[in-house]
Amino acid sequence: MEVSVERIHGMFQRMLLMRAFDEHAGDARRANLLRGSVHEYIGQEAIAAGVCAALHDRDYLSSYHRGHGHCIAKGADPTAMMLELYGKAGGVCGGKGGSMHVADFSLGILGANGVVADGVTIAVGAAQAVRLLGEDRIVVAFFGDGALNRGPMLEALNWARVYDLPVLFVCEDNGYSDRTRTVSVTGGPGIVARSEAFGIRTQSVDGNDLIAVAHAAAKLVAEVRAGRGPLFLHATTYRWRGHLALDKGLYRDPAELEGHQANDPIERVVAWLGAHGVTTRTIDADRREAVAQIEAAVAAAQAAPLPDAQALFTDVQDLGAPAWP
């Protein structure tokens, strides 16, 4: 299944937006301009871009704590996301969710999630609903390598297989679970063996190679759409920043990071696009456009008002009387 140069170019533009968004988000958190946790996606952009390009607007997506890239890749508005990170009115969740809860139900984005592996159970629940309602959509669950060591993840894999649900599981294997090397806390032969143990066909891909991810995802998504799910994509990658914005990453060898930075997924696409007739001038314009778009998003977020105090009582689970007078 060939993916056109034009489509790869579009995915590349989304990757530039993700990079610019998280460069700002991380810096803003370190400068205490934002509250809460911010987990940067820098270095992993090819996975979200390649997978989401295979999805339709009506397809569902669930994410995890490193969730900004998935939302941008699925088409969420970076300005509404930035407003959310700044806790402002007009944010995708009304400014009440922050980085770890970015969501946009109108685009099928069921949300980032701060509880490791729990987004995967939400994805499987959504897939069960799709099946029960006879709807024509599929679900993609993004999660990290650390999620494979939590019970809910294993229950989700099992349930999806038992009911043959239309889910594509996408593991972004960056080698770390918080500040721990995942391999040092994982029993058995590894992630692929684990998903395959549930009878779920699994494909591995270099997650820093957009072209490879896009081709693998196009094929797997088409199979899930045709009713051959659930399937599993294992994408190897590396995160450039600390686990979260305030983590300086002192537990890892700087040479390890430098080695991975030389394997920048964005620069790899630049080389590929160049070899396929896209000019340096066009690429430079793309880079400027992404930065300008994020700068405009930041300016809008900084200028926007905080939510109205009454908003404290909306969108919360208990719709009864306020807990205090």
Would you tell me which residues interact with ligand TPP (CB under 6 A)? Answer: 65-66, 114-116, 144-147, 174, 176-178, 182, 243
Work out how close the CB of 288 gets to Mg ion at its nearest, in angstroms, rounded to a whole number. Answer: 32
| The entry of Mg ion, ligand TPP, none that residue 178 binds, CB within 5 to 8 Å by partner kind | ligand TPP
Which range, of 126-134, 138-146, 225-233, 283-291, touches Mg ion by CB under 5 A?
Answer: 138-146
Torsion of CA 10, 233, 69, 35, to 10 degrees: 180
Determine contact, residues 220/170, Cβ cutoff 8 Å. Answer: no
Work out how close the CB of 78 gets to Mg ion at its nearest, in angstroms, rounded to a whole number. Answer: 24
Residue number, 41 or 86, with CB nearest to Mg ion = 41
Residue number, 145 or 286, with CB nearest to Mg ion = 145
User: How many residues belong to the site for Mg ion (CB under 5 A)?
Assistant: 5
Residue number, 88 or 260, with CB nearest to ligand TPP = 260
Applying CB under 5 A, does 144 fall inside the site for Mg ion? Answer: yes
Applying CB under 5 A, does 145 fall inside the site for Mg ion? Answer: yes
Work out how close the CB of 107 gets to Mg ion at its nearest, in angstroms, rounded to a whole number. Answer: 25
**Nearest to 21, CA basis, from 47, 46, 39:** 39
Work out how close the CB of 234 gets to ligand TPP at its nearest, in angstroms, rounded to a whole number. Answer: 12
Work out how close the CB of 118 gets to ligand TPP at its nearest, in angstroms, rounded to a whole number. Answer: 7
- DSSP assignment of 78-133 equals HHHHHHHHTT-TTSTTTTSS-GGG--BGGGTB----SSTTHHHHHHHHHHHHHHHH
Q: How big is the CA angle at 224 (ends 219 and 225), to the nearest 5 degrees?
A: 95
**Nearest to 163, CA basis, from 116, 125, 206, 114:** 125
**Nearest to 44, CA basis, from 21, 75, 78:** 21
Determine contact, residues 85/297, Cβ cutoff 8 Å. Answer: no
Residue number, 154 or 298, with CB nearest to ligand TPP = 154
Specify the 3-state DSSP secondary structure of 235: strand
Residue of this chain nearest to ligand TPP (CB atom): 144
Residue number, 99 or 236, with CB nearest to Mg ion = 236
Determine contact, residues 63/81, Cβ cutoff 8 Å. Answer: no
Work out how close the CB of 236 gets to Mg ion at its nearest, in angstroms, rounded to a whole number. Answer: 11
Which of 174, 195, 202, 237 contacts Mg ion by CB under 5 A?
174
Which range, of 5-13, 70-78, 84-92, 140-148, touches Mg ion by CB under 5 A?
Answer: 140-148
* Distant-in-sequence, close-in-space partners of 294: CB < 8 Å, separation ≥ 6: 17, 20, 21, 23, 24, 78, 82
Applying CB under 5 A, does 67 fall inside the site for Mg ion? Answer: no
Residue number, 114 or 125, with CB nearest to ligand TPP = 114
Point out which residues pair with 169 in neighbouring strands: 141, 232
Work out how close the CB of 246 gets to ligand TPP at its nearest, in angstroms, rounded to a whole number. Answer: 13
Q: Which two tokens stand for residue 226?
A: 């045709």
Specify the 3-state DSSP secondary structure of 290: helix
Residue number, 78 or 146, with CB nearest to ligand TPP = 146
CB atoms within 10 A of CB 116: 20
Catalog residues that contact Mg ion under the rule CB under 5 A.
Answer: 144-146, 174, 176
